Amino acid sequence: MKTITVKIKGMHCKSCEVLITDDLKETGAVSDVQISHKTGQAKITFDEKNIDEKKIKAVIKQEGYTLA
Amino acid sequence: MKVKIFVPDIECESCVKLLEKKLKYLQGVQEKTFYNDSVDVTYDSALITPENIVAAIREMEFRASVHPFERKTVKERVRDWKENRHKYQTEIAVLKYAVYLFLILGVLESIAYLGFFTTVPFFLQQYGWWLLYLNLSVATLGAALWHYLSYQARMTSMVGMMIGMTLGMQTGLMLGAVLGATNGFFIGATAGLVLGVCVGALAGSCCGIMGILEGVMAGVMGGTMGAMISVMMLSDHILWFMPVYMIVNIFVLLGFSYMLYEEVVEGREGVTRRRIDFFTFASGCIIITAVLSSVMIYGLKSFIVGGV
């Protein structure tokens, strides 16, 4: 298990948090997401055997957010 | 079958995506079109009912209903006001307090005038109307602010921006105009700006930076604009203009309170009311009025209003 913290730009409200959390969980390899649209911070815990940081970032970008 | 489901909490693209996703997994939902605060759903009535769809949306902590949210027309609202007085206790209290405060301010100022200013030449001609307008402004602005402060609720950024903007702008416009007329542009704009910015930021702070900034900007604009209006109009029937100006501004504040009730209070869950305490409200407003009327009388005056 590995935990990373990323900064996400473009989150407006609670829905953005839920959306990103859902998307990450759907990959099946992310076990925990703590995210706040107020700070833009997301703490993501994942299984590095099944997914890597690059892929996680791609999932977030796919929804139209940018990473700082 | 087609049904319109009202979802007033849709705020941005993400909400739409989330809802879309949720509806996609509901069996029987065929087509969906999203609008600003609602979604049209075509469904197979053998598989799902509108109530199921509503329940699914509510699960995601969005308000949802097949009926429009209690956004009453003005006519319905007036009837509701007449029939269900108990719902509007806060509003009735605020209105009463505004009237009481206006009267108290008038009495206090009359006492001050009779005690200290009868010997000052042309005092009433110079300040009479403006003190009246100052009282009127403070009473109505205070009431609007208090009305807003007496509710604690989750508000959307959009409503927060409206709150910051209206209160910041109106504070600036009304008080800036009054002080601009008695002291000239410098004092009028400064006082209007400072008060407008403070009130705007305080009011907008319910919803984070968007509300605060909107309030601050509205305060800057209203404060300087209010003073500008009265200074530019000093030589041109300002005393005819003022009643119209004040009435329009008071209507804006009434509209604001109406908006607040519709958007924040009615039909919302988790709204808490704080008891309004007349003493704090009145003493706050009296202090503000005392400060502003001292500024009016003893403050710097520009040459345009007969100063040096």
Query: Residues A20, A35: contact at Cβ < 8 Å?
Result: yes
Does the pLDDT at position B195 exceed 70? Answer: yes
Does the pLDDT at position B189 exceed 90? Answer: yes
Higher pLDDT, B159 or B304: B159
Strand partners of residue B38: B6
B2-59 has CATH 3.30.70.100 classification: yes
Cβ contact, residue pair B61, A14, below 8 Å = yes
Structure confidence at residue B308 as a pLDDT band (50, 70, 90) = low
Does the pLDDT at position A3 exceed 70? Answer: yes
Q: What is the mean pLDDT of chain B?
A: 89
Does the pLDDT at position B70 exceed 80? Answer: no
Cβ contact, residue pair A15, B21, below 8 Å = no
Query: From the centroid of its chain, how far is CA B274?
Result: 17
Cβ contact, residue pair B61, A13, below 8 Å = no
The confidence score (pLDDT) of residue B272 equals 83
Query: Residues B30, B6: contact at Cβ < 8 Å?
Result: no
Most confident among A52-61, B58-67, B235-244, B245-254 (mean pLDDT): B245-254
Cβ contact, residue pair A63, B14, below 8 Å = yes
Share of chain A above pLDDT 70, in %: 100
Across the range A42-48, mean pLDDT stands at 91
The confidence score (pLDDT) of residue B226 equals 95
Chain A residue numbers touching B210 (CB-CB < 8 A): none
Chain B residue numbers touching A38 (CB-CB < 8 A): 208
Across the range B160-172, mean pLDDT stands at 93
The confidence score (pLDDT) of residue B157 equals 81
Cβ contact, residue pair A12, B11, below 8 Å = yes
∠ CA B278-B281-B285, rounded to 5° = 135
User: What digits encode the pLDDT tens for the residues B101-130?
Assistant: 999 999 999 999 999 888 888 888 889 999
User: What does the buried/exposed string (b/e) look like for A17-48 if buried means 16 or more CB atoms within 10 Å of the residue's CB?
Assistant: bbbbbebbeeeebbeebebebeebebebebee
The confidence score (pLDDT) of residue B282 equals 93
User: What digits encode the pLDDT tens for the residues B209-258?
Assistant: 888 999 999 999 999 999 999 999 988 888 999 999 999 999 999 999 99
Taking CA–CA distances from B16, the nearest residue in chain A reads A15
Cβ contact, residue pair B14, A15, below 8 Å = yes
Does the pLDDT at position B64 exceed 90? Answer: no
Q: Can you tell me the distance from the alpha carbon of B122 to that of B129, in angstroms, rounded to the nearest whole number?
A: 12
ipTM > 0.85?
no
DSSP B37: S
Across the range A43-60, mean pLDDT stands at 90
Q: Both tokens of residue B109?
A: 């100022």
Please tell me the distance in Å from B60's CA to the nearest CA on chain A. 9
Across the range B137-162, mean pLDDT stands at 89
Looking at the partner chain, which of B11, B157, B208 has a beta carbon nearest the beta carbon of A15? B11
Q: Both tokens of residue A14?
A: 């609670």
Does the pLDDT at position B276 exceed 90? Answer: no
Structure confidence at residue B1 as a pLDDT band (50, 70, 90) = confident
Structure confidence at residue B267 as a pLDDT band (50, 70, 90) = low
Which amino acid is located at A59 in the chain?
Answer: V
Does the pLDDT at position B89 exceed 70? Answer: yes
Which amino acid is located at A36 in the chain?
Answer: S
Please tell me the distance in Å from A17's CA to the nearest CA on chain B. 9
Taking CA–CA distances from A17, the nearest residue in chain B reads B14
What are the residue ranges of CATH 3.30.70.100 in chain B?
2-59
Across the range B151-158, mean pLDDT stands at 82
Chain A residue numbers touching B17 (CB-CB < 8 A): 15, 19, 63
SS3 A1: coil
Q: Interface of chain A against chain B, CB under 8 Å?
A: 11-16, 18-19, 22, 38, 63-64
Structure confidence at residue A11 as a pLDDT band (50, 70, 90) = confident
Tokens 């600036």, residue?
B172
